[in-house]
Structure 1
């Protein structure tokens, strides 16, 4: 289904931004607050850091009602998220680049770091962002300082700090489409040497799809969170920080709904299973949200861990830090693979044409297990001086396990396997800034990394067969790498800086540890390491006595041996993936961000990204299908050909094509106007945001039926806040103009699921599906925050 482009007025927001700049130039506004970041493993003012960084501070996160990672792309133009069939294979994309993979043998391209501790598996990030104070979106390779899984960028997350006197805060939120949240925290100094913060929260959202079988909803989530932070400072120069955490999340997610279907289909070629029976009461049309599932779809996961940090102040202002962590992650995932509530097996036949003799449907179940241990020693120089630096030692160990069964064994459906993957990283790193002269500095960074990786792969008999091990493969690899960063910054004035940087990135070897793993793949070398080289030119400027600030960056990053899984529908209707090593890809573009305090009451902000994420070399790319000339079957689409070089399979050369889920243009505009109420004990405010995104291709195979047209979404909020800071209340409406768009699109032509074959009358059936996002429609909510 090709979603048509939608337009919404952006002129008002643009006019407000321009008017705000004019007011600020006249000098009638207050100053902007300074924004601090820890992107270079030290506390710095954002405007002093020579890098393109989007900072989502506490005020923005609260005003936008951010709950989970899914909310961040609407606030940062550099970010997009790609969704798979279950939470374990979601992907974070930075500047259009992110690894989509179903296997545990492939690292992510975007690292997620929480309080200096990287998550062992990116899937662990798709949960409630509980007790978060600041999120730094670091764009481009971050391998020199952050190492593992940061070749395309990183999300550097900082949890809320411990306040002064002990205070209790609470938050309540509810919407008219069945979402609610509740949270409470206690934070402050217990004594002169001991401080603590404990925060608990609970969230629940029913979902976006209606399950007609159960009367419930799908594509929602619920979670419980407990975070704590304990600080003990026995000496002026010595601080111990202990940070335990616990999270339990359930995502009943990842289900798509039909938006079109050619009439005359039979499910799995069974005459007893026509569309009218299998999809009864589902009104297939654009925007349809009805499905029929009789088996759960999604995942339940638990995450717990602890961080321990020691900061010791040395002579001459140096700080020696030790950061240790241990974490465990477990997820049980499950999926209704026939997407029906019919006893289909009684009507189906085996490959030899005989009845199955079974009852029920097609389903899958499995689990992920991750254990992570890290240790970092870091020496940080003072912030003053001609030379400023950070150097460190790093150790990290991840043990990952995946168990998956698709049952029962029937025709080409069914698999049962287990896989273990491990990686051990040891590194030494450093980055420093040398002031060549008072207004010019040289930036130099380097990292040496040694990595040991490997896997065990087991294949078992498929239920309902008796359990037995049928295949076993194992492999181990070692490799070392060097990454570096070189830059020059020049301060034009006290308020203006220009810079240029060159940096490299590295990601280790990969293994395609999925259901398609075979002896032939086991005999091959690992998928080669992924490398990147990035160039960035930037300009940062503060204006009108710090009433306005903006940053601008031009960037270009070249990737080699990019690791990417490509998905496709087999003739039997089963969605399969294969891990590929793309010869090369490039992302390049322009990013602009700015804020202006137009008056003491009005603050405006905007961000813009133009990104070209393009494949430069991929000669054996996947194909999409179209109807044949007779309209009776599927045939490979334009540009696809049978290649002797690649085992006579159908491939297409994707050089010059766009990466999936990489819109060229993203624009965010927002602002808040505060309304003083002199005669009342509270003040009022009104805030709003508008975000625009250009057309987006969701499929690597470039299927024209999986393009989401351009769209814009606007949100509005009004509220009041107590003058003594004791409470704040707001009413908000999201997707104000009720615009429809999809977070994912599927298109399938004449596969084995719905297209009848002999002995029935052959017919090519085309189906399209969509994944509705959280704000697929206009909805309203209320929020209350209290401190006492």
Structure 2
């Protein structure tokens, strides 16, 4: 489909000329529609809710061609995404707050809630967006109503319910980067008291990371399909039951490591002017290796299994609503979910062959064609299953609105990990050999909470609101885990030019086997208290203080041990002042917030320098100040201009980190293993990060967009057009502030142009994302001696792509 790109670009140019020629005709100001949200567990007008919220409707998602959760970060300036080697190692953060972890056992700081059901782990957040009615991004602690693990906020997703009349659609889209996406919906009445719906999708996209190894698979592609079915039952005028079931299956090569900067050449190894990483990346040809390193969209992997990453998930839920009387309602939400992931990362990120000793570098792999052992199973199986139950009573009164309830969850997750390390040469053995380990770690969590939240209407213009949630959780951990080997280039003695291998001076230490169980329990609380004042018609001021927490972290990583099995809970406290107002005869919506937030005992994972070992730890605190502004202006009945900007001053406090490679005392590497300042370079192993910027948190981010409908009176269709620009400041991904791992600021330009039948029967849409072809990466790290001095993860959106979407609605 490569031939599509020039043609689509020509159409983009023509459509732009059409837009300019038509212009924006002068019309009377339009009027914005009322937006309903469920941020306080009941339907309310967005402007009446004293919470900073970004709302994306189904129309917004279509205009910006957002079809998966990862792209939400480009639609909301205060929301950021960090890629990982697998879905389970990814992270979302809001206002600079996240659980910066890529190992099992750590609970998220951002809650993702789908139709009232909270997903348990960040890996479940990575999915397609099929038949979504509305997405609400709630910013700041939300623990009172949404429970633990909301120190950053919540992403509240509402899907479309079954309709009372027969309707549906079929949709297909095709892009020039070889994606096919098909979606369909059928909904309607089954009986006088029952309605049902079925949504299905299928996606097939080739990898955007081109593998130059002959016959090798490209990286980053995906083939997935899924379905969601709902049955809406009205037992009476007051009792309704919504039954939902969903399933998703995917095979993907999500995000392999891409070498961006090679390690410095070792002195005289392999020879003056040659670099081990360049030789490895070029499969023996350093010139080819440098070309691969210079192109962030190229990889060179001979492992046929590296892209065999699989995941599947399914869930059932029952949402019962009983309208007891005109003011009192009972709600029950029961859910069961399972999620399975199996990944097979080629950890050393290169085509090392046993015949040449891996070009002098250790070959660190899960079971692959590079590994001389066949008894390691495919990849890293990761799975969880859980049950949740919530009961709520909700009352709406003249002077008091309140919600009270209880919540229970029973959760279990398991991580098995097969790993093989090929050592080209070791004096203790006299020849190359392979060592392998396999972990099997589990944690089980049960939690119970009771909560109350209410709003007291002091007068027609003044509300006082507040709430409290008490939570108890208990965590059990089971270990069957050999400790991983720690190996870096420090032990290199010489390079054997004849055999193209590295000799190591010290024998490799034996692995230590950790077997046993540990348990912990924890009681904590969340709360909020605030006031809202309607100081004039359609304008509100509010002030809120809030607290939330992330539950106990269970360290079931490959370095977990019984002496440090648990991480302390993370707590967050925030103060927010906000304003929500409608101006110019309800044609302009202007919302803003100023906030301060302190986060203590941040839970995170860290990669030990020069190794492939990760550790989970509590990593200091965060001190955050920010300003957010959101605006929508209906400049006519046919056009909207939207803008959102976020400024964040997010700093790390009380944190020591291992020094980055090459860091000197002059650049901050001046702390010894005991945490004391030193002047001896040989004793300095840590750096003081107090006052540094929070990871993956741009100081300034904004987006601005315009959408316009061009009515064509003499034709059977109208033209709908939209342009959106997204920009963010530079970010640093690791906690240690390594200057080489900074992602520079970048901006992305997106576009869509649709021909829409006046009866809304069919749509033909031409779209482009990142049409200015701005390169960026979604994660950056280092592992000198194993992967690279700098390696990055590159998502599909880091280069331009164009497409066409065809949709037919039947009613």
Could you tell me the TM-score, scaled by structure 2's length?
A: 0.85
What secondary structure does 2:599 align onto? strand
Asked if the contact 1:668/1:690 (under 8 Å) is kept, the reply is yes
Structure 1 match to 2:718: 683
Asked if the contact 1:566/1:577 (under 8 Å) is kept, the reply is yes
* Structure 1 residue corresponding to 2:667, chosen from 638, 641, 654: 638
What secondary structure does 2:42 align onto? coil
What secondary structure does 2:28 align onto? coil
1:509 aligns to 2:509 (yes or no)? no
Structure 2 match to 1:608: 645
Structure 2 CA distance, aligned partners of 1:338 and 1:714? 34
1:479 aligns to 2:522 (yes or no)? yes
Asked if the contact 2:589/2:631 (under 8 Å) is kept, the reply is yes
- The runs of 5 or more residues in structure 2 that have no matched partner are 1-15, 363-367, 427-433, 486-510, 677-682
Asked if the contact 1:670/1:690 (under 8 Å) is kept, the reply is yes
Structure 1 CA distance, aligned partners of 2:543 and 2:463? 11
1:360 aligns to 2:370 (yes or no)? yes
Deviation at 1:531, TM superposition (A): 0.8
Deviation at 1:95, TM superposition (A): 0.7
Asked if the contact 2:673/2:685 (under 8 Å) is kept, the reply is no
Structure 1 CA distance, aligned partners of 2:553 and 2:684? 23
Asked if the contact 1:566/1:622 (under 8 Å) is kept, the reply is no
Asked if the contact 2:555/2:565 (under 8 Å) is kept, the reply is no
Residue 170 to residue 434, structure 1, CA distance change in 2 (3 Å): same
- The runs of 5 or more residues in structure 1 that have no matched partner are 1-11, 353-357, 628-634, 755-765
Structure 2 CA distance, aligned partners of 1:371 and 1:590? 38
Asked if the contact 1:112/1:154 (under 8 Å) is kept, the reply is yes
Structure 2 match to 1:531: 571
Matches within 5 A, 1:484-499: 484-499=527-542
Structure 1 CA distance, aligned partners of 2:685 and 2:520? 32
* Structure 1 residue corresponding to 2:596, chosen from 544, 551, 556: 556
Deviation at 1:131, TM superposition (A): 2.0
Structure 1 match to 2:11: none
Structure 2 match to 1:421: 443
Asked if the contact 1:182/1:202 (under 8 Å) is kept, the reply is yes
Structure 2 match to 1:277: 283
1:368-427 residue CA offsets vs partner (Å, 9 max, x unmatched): 111110111111112x51100111111011101110111146479743211111111111
Deviation at 1:695, TM superposition (A): 1.1
What secondary structure does 1:775 align onto? helix
Structure 2 CA distance, aligned partners of 1:767 and 1:623? 13
Structure 2 CA distance, aligned partners of 1:374 and 1:469? 37
Structure 2 CA distance, aligned partners of 1:249 and 1:234? 37
1:727 aligns to 2:762 (yes or no)? yes
Structure 1 match to 2:299: 291
Structure 1 CA distance, aligned partners of 2:482 and 2:780? 33
What secondary structure does 1:235 align onto? coil
Asked if the contact 1:549/1:596 (under 8 Å) is kept, the reply is yes
Residue 415 to residue 569, structure 1, CA distance change in 2 (3 Å): farther
1:480-514 residue CA offsets vs partner (Å, 9 max, x unmatched): 11211000000012210000000001122223221
Asked if the contact 1:458/1:469 (under 8 Å) is kept, the reply is no
Structure 2 CA distance, aligned partners of 1:72 and 1:675? 27
1:209-266 residue CA offsets vs partner (Å, 9 max, x unmatched): 1112235321122211100110110200010110011011223022133334478677
* Structure 2 residue corresponding to 1:343, chosen from 339, 350, 353: 353
Could you tell me the TM-score, scaled by structure 1's length?
A: 0.87
Structure 2 match to 1:757: none
1:622 aligns to 2:655 (yes or no)? no
Structure 1 CA distance, aligned partners of 2:369 and 2:407? 54
Structure 2 match to 1:254: 255
Asked if the contact 1:419/1:455 (under 8 Å) is kept, the reply is yes
Asked if the contact 2:81/2:91 (under 8 Å) is kept, the reply is yes
1:325 aligns to 2:326 (yes or no)? no
Asked if the contact 1:498/1:537 (under 8 Å) is kept, the reply is yes
Structure 2 CA distance, aligned partners of 1:42 and 1:164? 22
1:50 aligns to 2:32 (yes or no)? no
Structure 2 CA distance, aligned partners of 1:504 and 1:551? 23
What secondary structure does 1:336 align onto? coil
Structure 1 CA distance, aligned partners of 2:658 and 2:398? 55
Residue 639 to residue 649, structure 1, CA distance change in 2 (3 Å): closer
Asked if the contact 1:35/1:45 (under 8 Å) is kept, the reply is yes
* Structure 2 residue corresponding to 1:379, chosen from 381, 389, 393: 393
Deviation at 1:286, TM superposition (A): 4.0
Residue 492 to residue 85, structure 1, CA distance change in 2 (3 Å): same
